[in-house]
């Protein structure tokens, strides 16, 4: 893209962000909120051990209410799957993928227990399965494979966290090569045991037409937000920004981030808490990594983030440490 055009676009984006106003709205709940998740595009909230859907009562007026879910439904995991893992659904070659072969060979416990996955199971559209098994020097320290076409070739890739017992975590990309799925690229391991990273989102964050991977390096102590791209067969770091956290140590809430076009420029942005979890930061990577909004919260973020459409604009639902449910929304 030409420098003059980039400069012009940057001015437009800055004007859009400056004209926006961000609001934090409390949503009435019947009990303390303990979890937020998204199932088939529907944001759900766990309060008092029961699940509720988050709905807009008055359309564009933005009044949000909870509707009790009589049967939240918990799919039965495949045989041999990681007990607390989730099954991912693909859109191209891969029908499903999940983590399997639980092992205790890595004693980190960052996700609430010391059981991690020793293998990844990939099920193709024709029903055939392949098991990608790690050597004894590593585990998949994750809960769910992330399936996305990273290079625009029409084939599914898989992104997940691979942790080496002696060298810490790396971001790994799995793709099909010569009829078999294998790890085709990794970021450098973080250098020592018990150093972990957490993917925050996969989207075309730069506007270049291909998807990049946002992650937070050591979200509990370092909080470096990094953007990585699969280019020429290897993962390359594109940009970075400090002060981010998308996980609380010892919990399974690994999705404390949301991807949407928050500033209206047609390019995906990322919502992620600050390192101390007292603010929700809206970050753009186009034309470079920068914060486009910082919204103070009434209490620390304590759950995953859920993406809502409130009056046509993206909004973020999150549970707070005081047990309340908050929605952060933008008006232009």
The model's pLDDT over 237-294, given as tens digits with 9 standing for 90+, comes to 999 999 999 999 999 999 999 999 999 999 999 999 999 999 999 999 999 999 999 9
- Tens digits of residue pLDDT in 41-89: 899 999 999 999 998 876 555 678 999 998 877 778 899 999 999 999 9
pLDDT tens digit sequence for 106-141: 999 999 999 999 999 999 999 999 999 999 999 999
Distance, CA of 124 to CA of 250 (rounded, Å): 33
Whether the CA torsion 141, 147, 148, 150 is positive or negative: it is positive
Prediction pTM value = 0.91
Nearest to 312 by CA among 293, 331, 287: 331
CA neighbours closer than 13 Å in the CB half-sphere of residue 75: 12
């Amino acid at each position: 893209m030409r420098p003059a055009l980039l400069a012009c676009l940057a001015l437009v984006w800055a004007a859009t962000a400056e004209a926006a106003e961000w609001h934090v709205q409390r949503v009435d709940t019947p009990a303390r909120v303990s979890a937020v998740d998204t199932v088939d595009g529907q944001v759900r909230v766990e309060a008092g051990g029961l699940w509720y859907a988050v709905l807009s009562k008055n359309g564009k007026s933005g009044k949000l209410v909870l509707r009790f879910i009589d049967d939240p439904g918990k799919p039965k995991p495949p045989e041999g799957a990681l007990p607390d893992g989730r099954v991912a659904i693909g859109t191209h070659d891969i029908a499903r993928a999940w983590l399997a072969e639980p092992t205790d060979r890595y004693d980190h416990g960052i996700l609430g227990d010391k059981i991690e996955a020793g293998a990844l199971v990939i099920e193709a559209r024709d029903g055939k399965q392949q098991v990608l098994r790690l050597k004894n020097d590593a585990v998949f320290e994750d809960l769910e494979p992330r399936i996305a076409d990273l290079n625009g070739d029409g084939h599914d890739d898989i992104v997940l966290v691979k942790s080496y017992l002696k060298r810490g975590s790396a971001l790994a990309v799995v793709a099909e090569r010569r009829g078999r799925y294998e790890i085709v690229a990794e970021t450098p391991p973080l250098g020592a045991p018990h150093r972990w990273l957490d993917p925050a989102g996969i989207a075309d964050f730069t506007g270049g037409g291909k998807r990049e991977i946002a992650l937070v390096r050591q979200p509990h102590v370092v909080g470096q937000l990094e953007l990585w791209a699969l280019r020429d067969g290897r993962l390359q770091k594109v940009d970075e920004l400090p002060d981010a956290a998308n996980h609380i140590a010892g919990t399974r809430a690994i999705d404390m981030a949301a991807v949407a076009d928050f500033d209206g420029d047609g390019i995906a942005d990322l919502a992620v808490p600050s390192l101390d979890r007292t603010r929700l930061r809206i970050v753009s990577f186009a034309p470079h990594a920068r914060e486009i909004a910082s919204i103070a919260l009434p209490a620390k973020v304590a759950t995953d983030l859920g993406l809502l459409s409130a009056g046509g604009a993206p909004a973020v639902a999150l549970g707070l440490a005081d047990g309340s449910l908050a929605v952060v929304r933008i008006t232009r």
